[in-house]
Structure 1
Amino acid sequence: MPGSQARNRVRDRNNVQNRPEFLSLNQPPRREHAAGEGRGAGGPRRPVFRQQSQQEDAGGRGPKESSEGGPAADGGPKDASRWPEQDCMQLNPTFRGIAINSLLAIDISLSKRLGMCVGAHSPGAPLRSMVNLLAFTGHAFPWMCGTLLCLWRSNTLAGQEVLVNLLLALCLDLMTVAGMQKLVKRKGPWDYPPGLLDYLAMDIYSFPAAHASRAVMVCKFLLNHLVLAVPLRILLYLWAFLVGVSRVLLGKHHLSDVGCGFALGFLHFSLVESVWLDSATCQTLISFGTFRWTPLV
């Protein structure tokens, strides 16, 4: 008898259907009655069918599904199906995005290296005062004040016509660049706070470079309306270029900011030339400004 009992135990152990995890598949669903359901009403009791296999599956698979982002996780299976696609989009950027990011990285790196006159201990510290003076020649404050002073001292109609159009070009350049800087809000390579004159000229942000735009616009304007010798014309081109470079040396602008400023200044000059105000219109504007307007005369 003991030998037969041992053989039965071995047979039961080897039988797959007797294992605990497979017992729920072999047993029929148990019929349980809800406690207290329908007892007071006198009606038939409603049976509740439960399957032990569903309970075991829910208990064993619940943590896995929740950890793997299945139905138990927040967002549902639809969000889980979207995650791989979003990851692929982030890990595989387009060629255009790679090119733009690479150019921006090169621009920032070169602009920081060229900022040799940024601080008092920088390599170009001895030239800092001269570079600041060169950058000041492209500021809006001296050009606006100088144009108004020359317009007040001018006595010829031709001179007043040129000066009024130059003043309008300076105002156009100032407002356009200030609006674009406010819209883009790009910081400089060294992110130094702007000075008092920069606040007066609304030159707070980096893109585009206001000094570069103004220098090119003034350079083209003077070369087109003044008779200058060849050496002076070359010096005027050189001055416009050095004004833009000085802002990079001071760490105020990136190279791309200066390049876009040059292009914007040329567009401002072309726009002013296309809407050039004649002498009569300029005299009317001057009369408005000096309060000597006589409309009936």
Structure 2
Amino acid sequence: MRSSSTSWARSTAWYVDDEAFQGGEGRGQTIELGAGRLIPGFEDQLIGAEVDKPLDVKVTFPADYGNAELAGKEAVFKCTVKEIREFVDQPIDDELAKKNNFENLQAMRKAVTDRIGQEYAQIARGMIKRELLDKLADTYKFPVPEGLVEGEFNAIWQRIEEAKKNGEKVEDEDKAKQEYRDIAERRVRLGLLLADVGRSNNIDVTPEELNQAIMREAMRFPGQERQVLEFYGKNEQLKEQLRAPIFEEKTVDFILELAKVNEKPVTPEELLEAARKADEEEDKPAEQSPSA
């Protein structure tokens, strides 16, 4: 049996210790009952709710909740269900394909297959790039400007400080700072190395490539494309932020063309598992492998 999905809006703020929690109000949020994405007990209390009838949902935040200010505390969500929908089975046929702007089912299947293939290729390419950068970092050791390292470290640590405000904990701050400083130095060294390789081999970002990147960025803001394009047109610093990763990718591609890459057939499951483990390793500051 498929679970139902409830579209709901909180009509008032939610309360912790009998006080309205700042920033807790929300509207038009969709909840899939049975998905288990919310605080334990929340979804269960929506079962049997009636449309447009106010409902108090009482829950207790888990002790290990990400926001330390809320961890272990009781809360009351004042909700109003606005709409109830139920999943129904949809036949996979030409009619479904046409609803999704495909000529027929065969065309839709090909498009889905191609997209999945592209996603797998991107994952594999990302892992190859990660291994390449690891190899470069281990092979080339040279002093880097302290000012660049300090700037990169400050940018990293600023994100850590923001995470701390959201309840994330840093067990040993001095140790963490040293680990992230090492990461900053690695990033700067790899950045300088890739920049030198790129310049030495006349690698550049063409105006067409930069314009395509700007267009992709503008498409992220439907209805505001013109404003985004004008904004980038007047801001060279923003253009550079788009140019830098394109230059890096082209330089990495150049190096990979010269490198000996051993290909190994793997199943999709093996590829995803390898990528997951690699991502877990990157979450460990001391062993992180960031790109420049």
Which TM bucket (shorter chain)?
A: under 0.3
Q: Which has the higher helix share?
A: 1
Relative contact order, higher structure (CA 8 A, sep 6+)? 1
User: What TM-score, normalized to structure 2?
Assistant: 0.24
Quick check: which has more Rg, 1 or 2?
1
Q: Which has the higher strand share?
A: 2
